[in-house]
A = this chain, B = another copy of it.
């Protein structure tokens, strides 16, 4: 104890704790591709031969953080599965602000299900981190689902899970004030991509106030105020583009029953 003051970090540590996650644009071999697809929920349980066949219709694409993958209004041609990194799905609104609908991680899909019957994408997709995706045409994916019922069931499960999450969001937006929505969003993020970091759960992705605002239907300023309150109350720890949950129990209490 009695460390030199220069070594002690302030009550709320404001320096970036980790973050600079860089996925080097790996180019995977066909074998690697097959392995990745086989490990994804979509094609789990396929035989090697089937897997090879399925994998044949996929191509690979790498994106740098921030790069646009497609824009709302573009012809909806592709179905993509994220292999590494994260993809941000945001819906532009007529007011200019964006609504952040999802951050898609490994083994999750985005893009066009033929089932949706969409002629064009409704959302912007961009690389939230450096990332690598496998993609195929909407038609080819449809054909795969018809051919491998297990894949169709897996897709159904994933879409159903998203529907459930969307309904949760609707409930929140309809019925709860901003602080509760922020709390709930932080908890969800911590569960999906939290990492233990000396006593707190660090949300292991770059996350700006703007992102959080777009996720909760609030403004940057309001989110900033809410986070300041949370920080003062010892619920979270936060800095430039990072947030850690410090007191999960109390935050969860707040998310469920309000301040």
Contacts and interface: CB of A to CB of B under 8 A. Distances in A.
B258 A115 contact: no
Most interface-central of A116, A163, A169, A256 (chain B CB within 10 A):
A163
Q: How many copies does the complex hold?
A: 2
Nearest to A155: B156
B152 A115 contact: no
Contacts of A188: none
21 contacts: A93-B174, A93-B175, A94-B258, A97-B175, A99-B170, A99-B174, A99-B175, A113-B156, A115-B161, A122-B167, A146-B153, A149-B149, A152-B152, A156-B156, A156-B159, A159-B160, A163-B163, A166-B170, A173-B173, A173-B174, A174-B217
Nearest to A115: B157
Contacts of A166: 163, 166-167, 169-170
Nearest to A102: B167
A101 interface: yes
Contact of A153 (B145, B161, B164): B145
A8 interface: no
- Chain A interface mostly helix, strand, loop or mixed? helix
A118 B161 CA distance: 10
Interface of A: 91, 93-95, 97, 99, 101, 113, 115-118, 122-123, 145-146, 149, 152-153, 155-157, 159-164, 166-167, 169-171, 173-176, 217, 256-258
A170 B173 CA distance: 8
A171 to B, nearest CB: 5
A159 B170 contact: no
Contacts of A91: 167, 171
